[in-house]
Amino acid sequence: SQQGEEDPQALSIQEGENATMNCSYKTSINNLQWYRQNSGRGLVHLILIRSNEREKHSGRLRVTLDTSKKSSSLLITASRAADTASYFCATDNNAGNMLTFGGGTRLMVKP
């Protein structure tokens, strides 16, 4: 069963705008990860944030984690057409021995 759920399911923005995607999960976690999937390709790991961290940056990506609300957000600043993809959050399962993935957010960035 899915632990994380992304919101919104789909997002369409103009190039240069910021894109924010959210992930909610149900049980306590060790870490939370975000992945990107381009059409017809495998998932690519973007960033990992541990349960004791609140914010993390990687280039134009900013991830926040609020363990009290069991939620995370992924912010992509100054979006580009190449950012068009599906974005998934992943959390460890109840046993803490593997990742489960949410349903993803489909992001479209229009040039």
Partner 1 sequence: DAGVIQSPRHEVTEMGQEVTLRCKPISGHDYLFWYRQTMMRGLELLIYFNNNVPIDDSGMPEDRFSAKMPNASFSTLKIQPSEPRDSAVYFCASSPTALGGYTFGSGTRLTVV
Binding stretches for partner 1 (CB under 8 A): 2, 30-31, 33, 35, 41-45, 48, 88, 90, 92, 96-104
Cβ proximity to partner 1: between 7 and 103 the closer is 103
89-110 burial, b at 16+ Cβ within 10 Å, e below that, comes to: bbbbeeeeeebebbebbbbebe
| CA-closest candidate to residue 106, choices 38, 17, 50 | 38
Cβ proximity to partner 1: between 6 and 83 the closer is 6
CB of 4 to partner 1, least distance (A): 11
Cβ proximity to partner 1: between 83 and 92 the closer is 92
| CA-closest candidate to residue 60, choices 43, 41, 42, 46 | 46
For residue 27, the cross-strand partners are: none
CB of 30 to partner 1, least distance (A): 6
CB of 24 to partner 1, least distance (A): 15
